[in-house]
Structure 1
Amino acid sequence: MSSLRYLAGLIALLFALPLSAEDLSMTLRTQQETKPGSGRYHRLTREESWRPEHTAIIVCDMWNLHGCRNAVLRGQEFAPRLNDLLAKARAEGVTIIHAPSGCMGFYADHPARKRAQATPKAADVPEGITSWCYQIPSEEMDNYPLDQSDGGVDDDPEEHAAWAAELSKISDKPRTPWTRQTELLTIDPEQDFISDKGDEVWSILSAGEIDNVILTGVHTNMCVLGRPFGLRQLAQHGKNVVLMRDMTDTMYNPKSWPFVSHFTGTDRIVSHIEKYVCPTVTSDQILGGEAFTYAKDNRPHVVIVMAEDEYETNQTLPEFASSYLGKDFRVSYVYGSETERNDIPGLDEALESADVLLLSVRRRALPPQQMEAVRSYISAGKPVIGIRTACHAFGLRGASPPTGTETWEKFDPEVFGGNYHGHHNNKITSQVSVIEEAQESPLLTGISAEPFTQQGSLYQVSPLADGTSVLMTAAIEGQPAEPVAWTFTRADGGKSFFTSLGHKTDFDNPAFQRLLLNSVYWAAGREVPEAFDLTKYEPPMKKI
């Protein structure tokens, strides 16, 4: 009996926490399909309150060295903030588990390693938790978002060769040179745990009655997801596990599909996790300040809002953005509700960090909080791009909005300088021409001066407001030409671009593709590329 009392006392000591510890206020971000089988997702947040004594942070594979030089540099860049996060969380009573896989020999005599080994094996250790987990059933719903079959090394070839030569001097395993966790992270010998074993980590969590688990470290698409203590294993066995999405990195080479920047590659993995594995959080929720971003990640944030029922832009715009914007921009997609017409879930949250707003919305009233987010974004002088029905995005032709919603009837003239008052017959095509005086505009870069055919109905918008500059017009036989693409300087000083093009067939037209692409660079204040490869690359066979 005395030995049992001693063991119980030891466990209590190991997990002893300040009685005054305050709850952790966590904002969990998830993605929920707009409707079953749609393939489109609302990005949603929810608030939770976590007791520190029932919370753990696992630090995955933050090694001292790696075969990829860029991976080492990125890890070193966010490690100081991660260390600050661990210190604050530890002080508040959160359990810290360091998991530098394959390095247990280095820590054989460390108190934190011995503490992990001394933890009694839990009675509820899940079957298979000592093994790598490559996929859970929910992930079978979609293609994996990256091709990582080359290992994800994104070093410049010459730098990589030099780095490999340097590693060969200090390690007999230059491709896997790690020996310990980075020294940039402090391991508290009095409180922390060290383990890379799934059953040990599970037992530590069980002994501390810990249900809330935060995963940090590298690499998201490999170790963080797949390790025995990783997101998949903990999620499928019932832990309230989350990824800290700003305290991580990805092994992804931009020379592989989908041929986007390294940082967009990480975004794609985070999105995959939010859809199929678990929620995500950010470090500022514990540490304060702002979420971490890499110094080289200077991508403007483009928010694409889709809520119209005629032109299928909820398909064409994501396909366009996925194909062409991933190298230079961070892109978020916001969709109208499938069940409540006058609701665009996640709109206000997305606009908080938006640098460019691209609208494809038709006649929606909005809840006050969402409309205020739109008004605040625009009144701040930020750029707006509108296609097709965006000129009547938030108007109901003067009708009273449903209870609990608001309209913006003058959105067209105030935001786009437009004057939409109808359209020509849907079955009549029009010929689109570039305005000769506008040919030097960056918005027309790479676009031939040759006229092309518009399949959708021609909008009637003349006359436009002062402050507009017309780039393209279109005409049908026997009718005056109408502007179909123009810029506008708003009263708030911000700039807008609008085009009445945007019919589903327009997205197969290289001239429209370049026009829309150019508008995003222009709106973001970036130089419009002189040349741009408009090839669409199909994803490889699903491979994790």
Structure 2
Amino acid sequence: MSDIELRLRTRVATSPGADQHHVLVRRESWRPEETAVIVCDVWDLHHSQNAVRRATEFCPRLDALLSFARDRGMTVIHSPSDCMDAYQNHPARKRASEAPAAGNAPPEIAHWCSRIPAEEQAAYPIDQSDGGDDDDPKEHAQWAEHLRQLGRNVGTPWKAQTELLTIDADRDYITDRGDEVWNVLQQRGVKNVILTGVHTNMCVLGRPFGLRQMARNGMHVTLVRDLTDTMYNPARWPYVRHFAGTDLVIEHIERFVCPTITSDQLLGGDEFRFSGDRRPELAILIAEDEYDTRLTLPELARRWRDDFRITIIHGSEQERNDIPGLEALREADLLLLSVRRRTLPPEQLKVVRDFVAAGKPVLGIRTASHAFCLRNMPAPAGAADWPEFDQEVFGGNYTNHHGNQLKSQVTYADGNHPITKPLGMLPVGGVVQHGSLYMAAPLEPGATVLLRGELNPSAAAKQASPEPVAWTFQRRDGGRSFYTSIGAPLDLQNRFYADLLHSALRWAADIAGPAPAASRQPRPFVDDWDLTHVPLAELPPAAVAATRATLTGAESNHVWFRCAVRLTDHWVGRDGVTIELPLEHAAVWLNGAVAQHRDAKFLIPREAIDLDDANLLVVRLPINEPLSIAPRVQSAGRKRELTGRWQLRIGNGDWSNIPLPARYGASTDILFETTNDE
């Protein structure tokens, strides 16, 4: 049997400790007989109707993938958690339970895994503490009633895997136990695991057979990123569409857990897309050192995720004329450029040339007019340039810029264009441009000027003519472009220029209708839980400012802190644990149960603890009494001080618990773990 050819996508920091990442693809050949596909929790029913709808939509594609896997000799394992009773006499269930015990079973392979070491310093990308249900409330109530009529538990209505997925009784395996999955993998000589199913941010990551356990125990594991779905509610931070929330979780996985693939690599054709997600693919290419767009553009891109699936491609920080991961441009529908004077390896520049020649939209800001050539110099030996890029792609004629100390005023040249009309009227005199005014005139035929800039009156500016600042261009290859010389950091903080870029992207992608409303801007530490560090001598300035600006004294007389603590069976003694916290007015809850207070300690009985699992710990204090001492967990002579990242929120809501177990709802960035040697 021939090998399976895969393209595994990962994200690697552009430099140690950097928040920017290269999106890299490596090609690998996997032997089918050494490869398993694990299907995670694709149940017959779910408490969220939207979750059922999305799973139903991708199941035909997933079933085709499983058929392909069997035909190629791969091992197929179905893992619908909590549903083994439905398969007591199924041959595939017996086959899994009868697999011989592996001699190399990892010590915690039977347990949920809330985090692996690579994630310890990572900020988790979404808030799923409400359970992630994104149903319409009215539909949700109707769905709950439907489940009751079926005789199902409304909260956990699943009893089996969906019938939309075929289980081959002669070849497949059924188990939801991590140790049994491990036994099957060892028995079959499996080295590679392909994981698919739901939900990405909960079970796919955390189950005993999930991505974290496979990755930390040495399996070569990958996620099929187009055959999965998250439990994420757009009404929660970061307030993006459901599918954009899935994107963020997948990016987290690619950075810290394992690579991902798409189903078309196995089945051919196109990757699967949900019918509700038709966002174009936007590639943002950043390789310049003058204006810090490596910081400003990713921040702006957060606002564009509802309209676009976004890949940010960064130039190398070690080699000026190299852009790792540029191959991602081949999959993009449109390109936004912020590049300055890079001469690239010929094969890299060819990727850009091919993209332009295909007639796809290109947008550029600031130094993109001189992206791929040096000033009055040829490219170095072995490198390629494109001196005509400005004229051919943007219709521009950049020659220089006015002095950096000179400010300019920007006004409409065409305020009724589809790009500028949604922006509304400008203030009298226009909008200031803090970056120097570029000299770009005269433009090529086919250019339509939208914004014009003029230097503020001064002796140095007396002879200066107005310059085009933003324009569109109809290219000879049939594609259309947009360019603006705006791009300095202060300018991109201006809401008008930020909206200009968003509007231009929508125009380039032919997205009709009004732009989505700006993402909700929550009040820090008031509308959401935000990260802080404990012990905390005083409230963060942002929390103080938000409280003073928006809350009355009656509304803000409590401050809440929460974290998750993984308590192992061996660590917890028979009497449970105590939380040592010598603060007179503190109240403490564990998993929603209030803790009994005695002599600066809070008592948690063993039966209230989810052993070998995450537990939600919540502390409430008066607003004037922050958590100035890190709580200490104690049991059977062992101690664990909870110094580190917690979440903080101010107000009088009832925030002592979340509506689901901490293993599902608590984020990895506030997790503390106990070890037997503490």
TM bucket by the smaller chain?
Answer: over 0.9
2-structure distance, mates of 1:183, 1:238:
32
Q: Match of 1:119, SS?
A: coil
Aligned counterpart, 2:266 = 286
Question: Unpaired segments of 5 or more residues in structure 2?
Answer: 532-665, 668-678
Q: How does 1:237-316 map to 2 (within 5 A)?
A: 237-316=217-296
Q: Which residue pairs with 1:191 in the alignment?
A: 171
In 2 relative to 1, CA 480–378 (structure 1 residues): closer, same or farther, beyond 3 Å? same
1:448 aligns with 2:409: no
Distance verdict in 2 for CA 1:541–1:531, change over 3 Å: closer
Q: Which digits, 9 at most, give the CA deviation of each residue in 1:359-416, with x for residues without a partner?
A: 0000011222221111111112111111000000111124222333211100001111
1:338 aligns with 2:314: no
Residue 530 of structure 2 corresponds to which residue in structure 1? 541
Task: Determine the structure 1 residue equivalent to 2:22.
Answer: 42
The equivalent of 2:359 in structure 1 is: 381
Counterpart-to-counterpart distance in 2, 1:225 and 1:300:
27
Q: Which residue of 1 aligns with 2:202?
A: 222
Pair 1:512-2:488 in alignment: no
Higher relative contact order (CA 8 A, sep 6+): 1
Asked if the contact 1:448/1:511 (under 8 Å) is kept, the reply is: no
- Deviation by residue 1:185-230 (Cα, 9 ceiling, x = unmatched): 1111111111111111111111112110010100001100000100
Q: Measure the CA separation in 1 of the matches of 2:391 and 2:239.
A: 39
Deviates more, 1:507-516 or 1:222-231: 507-516
CA distance in structure 1 between the aligned counterparts of 2:287 and 2:210, rounded to whole angstroms: 37
Q: How far, CA to CA, are the matches of 2:382 and 2:215 in structure 1?
A: 37
Q: Is 2:468 aligned against 1:483?
A: yes
Corresponding residue SS for 1:442: coil
Paired with 1:94 and 1:410, the residues of 2 have a C-alpha distance of: 51
CA contact (8 A) 1:446 1:531 kept: no
Aligned amino acid, residue 218 of structure 2: G
8 Å CA contact retained: 1:85, 1:283: yes
Task: Quote the residue 1:182 is aligned against.
Answer: 162
**Number of the residue aligned with 1:439:** 415
Identity, % of aligned pairs? 53
Distance (whole Å) between structure 1 residues aligned to residue 380 and residue 262 of structure 2: 36
Distance of 2:25 and 2:169 partners within structure 1: 36
Aligned to 1:130: 110
Higher alpha-carbon Rg: 2
Q: How many Å apart are 1:345 and its aligned residue?
A: 1.2
Shift in CA distance, 535/229, structure 1 to aligned 2, threshold 3 Å? closer
TM-score (norm 1): 0.93
The alignment status of 1:173 with 2:153, answered yes or no, reads yes
Shift of 1:171: 2.8
Q: CA deviation at 1:540?
A: 4.3
Match of 2:333 among 328, 331, 355: 355
CA–CA distance in structure 2, aligned partners of residues 24 and 535 of structure 1: 44
Judge conservation of contact 1:235–1:241 (CA < 8 Å) in 2: yes
Q: Is contact 2:195-2:224 (8 Å) kept? A: yes
CA deviation profile, 1:457-482 (whole Å, cap 9, x unmatched)? 11111111111111111111312111
Letter in 1 for 2:335: L
Cα pair 1:25 1:50 within 8 Å, conserved: yes
Q: Does 1:318 align with 2:298?
A: yes
The one-letter code of the counterpart of 1:446 is: L
Query: Which is richer in helix?
Result: 1
1:448 maps to a residue whose letter is: M
Q: Secondary structure of 1:221's match?
A: helix
1:402 aligns with: 380
Q: Deviations over 1:261-298 (max 9, x none)?
A: 11111111111100000011111222222211112211
Instruction: Please state whether the residue corresponding to 2:224 is helix, strand or coil.
Output: strand
AA partner of residue 308 (structure 2):
F
Tell me, in whole angstroms, the C-alpha distance in 2 between the residues paired with 1:447 and 1:456. Answer: 23
TM-score (norm 2): 0.75
Cα RMSD after superposing both structures: 1.5
Query: Is the 8 Å Cα contact of residues 448 and 473 (structure 2) preserved in structure 1?
Result: yes
Instruction: Tell me the distance in 1 between the aligned counterparts of 2:217 and 2:335.
Output: 40
Asked if the contact 1:447/1:515 (under 8 Å) is kept, the reply is no
Tell me what 1:53 maps to: 33
Question: 1:417/1:536 Cα in 2 relative to 1: closer, same or farther (>3 Å)?
Answer: farther
* CA–CA distance in structure 2, aligned partners of residues 303 and 172 of structure 1: 45
Deviation at 1:139, TM superposition (A): 1.3
> Equivalences for 1:524-539 in 2 at 5 Å?
524-527=509-512, 529=514, 532-533=517-518, 536=521
Conserved in 1, the CA contact under 8 Å of 2:453 and 2:468?
yes
SS of the aligned residue for 1:106 comes to: helix
Aligned length: 520
CA distance in 2: counterparts of 1:194 and 1:468, whole angstroms: 62
Q: In the TM superposition, what whole-angstrom CA distance separates every residue of 1:514-537 from its partner, at most 9, and x where no partner exists?
A: 111111111111136268437655
- Given the alignment, which residue of 391, 397, 408 partners 1:430? 408
Q: Alpha-carbon deviation of 1:446?
A: 2.1
- Paired with 1:86 and 1:532, the residues of 2 have a C-alpha distance of 40
Question: Aligned partners of 1:447 and 1:140: how far apart in 2?
Answer: 45
Distance (whole Å) between structure 2 residues aligned to residue 114 and residue 531 of structure 1: 52
Q: Distance in 1 between matches of 2:139 and 2:3?
A: 46
Q: Identify the match of residue 144 of structure 1 among 113, 124, 130.
A: 124
**CA offsets per residue over residues 279-322 of structure 1, 9 Å max, x none?**
11111222222211112211011111100001000110000011
Instruction: Please state how far the C-alpha of 1:48 moved relative to its aligned partner.
Output: 1.1
Aligned residue number for residue 71 of structure 1: 51
Q: Can you list the C-alpha shifts for 1:486-523, whole angstroms capped at 9, x where unaligned? A: 11111112111111011000122111111111111111
Matched, 1:411 2:396: no
- Corresponding residue for 2:436? 457
Match for residue 94 of structure 1?
74
The match for 2:4 among 19, 24, 28 is 24
SS in 1 for 2:445: coil
Map of 1:468 onto structure 2? 447
Residues in 2 aligned to 1:534 and 1:68: alpha-carbon distance in whole angstroms = 24
Maintained 8 Å contact 1:510/1:534: no
Aligned residue in 2 for 1:115: 95
> What CA distance in whole angstroms lies between the structure 2 residues aligned with 1:134 and 1:319?
28
What secondary structure does 1:233 align onto? helix
Q: Describe the SS at the equivalent of 2:437.
A: coil
AA aligned opposite 1:527: A
For 1:170, the aligned partner's letter is L
Letter in structure 2 aligned against 1:340: E
> Cα distance 1:472–1:260, how it changes in 2: closer, same or farther (>3 A)?
same
The Cα shift of 1:142 comes to: 2.1
Partner amino acid for 2:438?
A: Y
Task: Write the distance in 1 (CA, Å) between the matches of 2:516 and 2:172.
Answer: 54
Conserved 8 A contact 1:64-1:179 = yes
1:95-151 alpha-carbon deviations (Å, 9 max, x no partner) = 011000000111011111111111111111111111111111211222111111111
Inter-partner Cα distance in structure 1 for 2:118 and 2:267: 32
Q: Secondary structure at the match of 2:438?
A: coil
Q: Give the whole-Å Cα distance in 1 for the aligned partners of 2:127 and 2:516.
A: 26
User: Within 2, Cα distance between the matches of 1:122 and 1:382?
Assistant: 53
Structure 2 CA distance for aligned equivalents of residues 404 and 156 of structure 1: 58
Contact 2:470–2:485 (CA<8 Å) still a contact in 1? yes
Letter in 1 for 2:423: G
